[in-house]
Chain A
Amino acid sequence: MNAIQIGHLLHSSTTQFVAGCSVKQLESPSLGALVRAPIETGYQVFGLITDIHIDEDGLVRQLVTAGNVPTDVRQDSREHRIVPVEMSVLAVGYEQDGKIFHMLPPRPPLSLNEIYLCSETELAKFTGAAAHPEPGRRDFGYFRHILQAQDIPVGEVLAAHILQVKQQTKNEQWVDQATRELITLLRDDYPTLMSVLGALGEVI
């Protein structure tokens, strides 16, 4: 299967990065999706999309006052105008020489690095939801990056991510274990736990 490129890196740090794409590319990425930024041979950074936003555009603001925007004008805006679509991505791990680490990457991706949506195989490999589930605990180390992140909708991002894993890997056991892990991690933070469970309740 061909890798789905969803944009290019605009700016980054070791904890998060922002990717930009054209409106035409906006069909593939979604909130909570796992993405990867290959940097060099054998090294790539993984992240979860925590926000997708379209910056204000003066012309669009004026066009909406007209009420009815013709299709050709809408297509023009999407295909030709520089509409800045930005995706904020939270770094949750990296791969070095084939081995996955749920730690912050040693080096962030660089400007204009291509950003790809993770395939089913890459998603299963990163999350530990392998095709042949084994009993026992899995490593959900990357959850700590999500739970510690400031200014992101933690519950919504986790729910969207878990739903994505469930749909793509069909690994129900992984979903159960991920939920238990979250309950354990958030046992001392009742408000966040309720928020996360509330969101998870919508998808599992």
Chain B
Amino acid sequence: MSLNFQQVFNRIREIGLGAPALQQARETLRKQARSLLEEWADKPAQLRDKLERARQADPSLRCAIPLDGERLDASFPQAASLKLVTLLAADGSQILPDRHAALQYSLVNVGAIAMQSGSGQAPEVFTDSHLLYGEELYTETGLVSGEAIEQRRDIAERRKLLELAPDYPAPLLALTDGPVELWGAKGAGEDDYRKNLEIHKSILSQLQARGVTVAGYVDKPGADLVVRTLEIARLSTDEEFKGIRSLHSLRGVTDRWLYRFLPGGHRSAVFGLQSGSRLHYTGDLALHFFYLNVGDTRHPWLVRVEIPKWVADDKEKLDLLHAALLEQCRIMGARPYPYILHRAHEIAVVKFDEKAQVEQMLELELRQAGSEMDTESYKQSAKNLKGRSGH
């Protein structure tokens, strides 16, 4: 037994004792957030002024930008039943280089699926696997970072969608899991990030040119973008705006809670996304989002759907996306999540025994070629010893 359960237990008791007070405080904040939402629902221009002041104080600010035409507390049902649509989805997984392992290599695996909704035909599935070895694993500063590999994976996913798009009939809808924007600037190195960002934007533009509806599906979203906007709505003095980075007056209230009022299948208003990357995604690529209740009215399940501006501005595309996501989520029954995204994940994931097989094949090839072989670190070797297991 390596865990001091007595200490943990004491802490758990303390947490339990403090829970009622925390819940009460949260309820108070929720009431404030709800009334702020109602108060500012039809004042998008004034809110945007406040957001601009806050953004000047903190350019990396992440929050929702209210748009003209849709109230902050608006709710929109599915506009039309889904017609024949082609859904494309891609997901990726990766094996990162491990300096403790005997072999230094990396692998990016992308799984993609194309499904013609309502056709009754089996979807088509695709897998692209890229093995990185030798010089491919190094950058100017040393061994390639995990974030850089993850960026390659993200780019490979999007590239696959672009590659598949010409092969299928319109209307086309391309989905990825998670936000649309490219992440990981710091860890991946600024130069690599900028390079990948340009590729990403180029892919998005080409998808736009092909008339593809692009969306990123964020399940159980953690970023409370609208709540953050409401926190800013409360500010008035310059002093308060300057301190925006550390000011979280509604902490504990989530967007998922705030939009629980959406009836089953309804979406929220579309918002612009204020984030550090707003400068990069401009014009038709500017990022937007809406919340969607993919559950039912009694058991709401709020997800965030990120879209580029060209989708946000096109009502037909927006309605198509809304309907397609609901249909995909219904397939999964009691725990709604787009079936096609789950399948893309299933195709992409590299299982433990597949990883072992790749390593065995690579090792065999290198040995046959007379290449010098390294061994795993003694630390790793000790960790691999049988006797106990853990996380």
Contact = CB atoms under 8 A, between A and B. Distances in A.
Given A59-B342, A79-B122, A81-B346, A72 B333 contact: no
Interface string A54-66: 0000010011111
Contact of A66 (B122, B332, B343): B332
A123 to B, nearest CB: 34
A66 B330 CA distance: 7
**In the complex, the 3 A-B pairs of residues with the closest C-beta atoms, listed nearest first:** A66-B333, A65-B333, A75-B122
Interface string A40-84: 000000000000000000010011111101111101101111000
A64 B118 CA distance: 18
B15 interface: no
Given A66-B331, A72-B117, A72-B121, 9 more contacts: A59-B342, A62-B333, A64-B333, A65-B333, A65-B334, A70-B118, A72-B118, A75-B121, A81-B343
Contact of B123 (A65, A67, A80): A80
B315 interface: no
A62 B123 contact: no
A67 B331 CA distance: 9
B115 interface: yes
B332 A76 contact: no
Contacts of B346: 59, 81
Contact of B116 (A63, A72, A78): A72
A125 B118 CA distance: 49
A76 B115 contact: yes
Task: Tell me the dominant secondary structure on chain A's binding face.
Answer: helix
Contacts, number: 50
B120 interface: yes
B122 A62 contact: no
Interface string B102-132: 0000000000000111111111010000000
A75 B343 CA distance: 13
Interface of A: 59, 62-67, 69-73, 75-76, 78-81
Interface of B: 115-123, 125, 330-335, 339, 342-343, 346
A63 B115 contact: no
A61 to B, nearest CB: 9
A14 B335 CA distance: 45
Contact of A75 (B117, B120, B332): B120
B264 to A, nearest CB: 14
A80 B120 CA distance: 15
B333 A80 contact: no
A65 to B, nearest CB: 3
Listed residue (A64, A78, A81) with the most chain B CB atoms within 10 angstroms of its CB: A81
A76 B123 contact: yes
A72 B84 CA distance: 12
Contacts of B119: 72
Contacts of A80: 122-123, 125
Contacts of B118: 70, 72
Nearest to A80: B125
A76 B334 contact: no
Contacts of B330: 66
A81 B343 CA distance: 9
A59 B333 CA distance: 10
A64 B331 CA distance: 9
Contacts of B333: 62-67
B324 to A, nearest CB: 13
Contacts of B116: 72
Contacts of A62: 332-335
A63 B342 CA distance: 12
A76 B121 CA distance: 8
B331 A76 contact: no
B88 to A, nearest CB: 14
A70 B331 contact: yes
A76 B343 contact: yes
A84 B332 CA distance: 21
Contacts of A78: 122
A67 B332 CA distance: 10
Contacts of B122: 72, 75-76, 78-80
A34 B120 CA distance: 35
B120 A71 contact: yes
A59 B335 CA distance: 11
Contacts of B334: 62, 65-66
A65 B333 CA distance: 5
A62 B125 CA distance: 21
A42 B388 CA distance: 49
B81 to A, nearest CB: 14
Nearest to B120: A71
B331 A63 contact: yes
Contacts of A66: 330-334
B120 to A, nearest CB: 4
A79 B121 CA distance: 10
18 contacts: A59-B342, A62-B334, A63-B332, A63-B333, A65-B334, A66-B332, A66-B333, A67-B333, A71-B120, A72-B123, A73-B331, A75-B121, A75-B123, A76-B115, A79-B122, A80-B123, A80-B125, A81-B343
A69 B125 CA distance: 19
Contacts of B332: 62-63, 66
A17 B231 CA distance: 67
B343 A72 contact: no
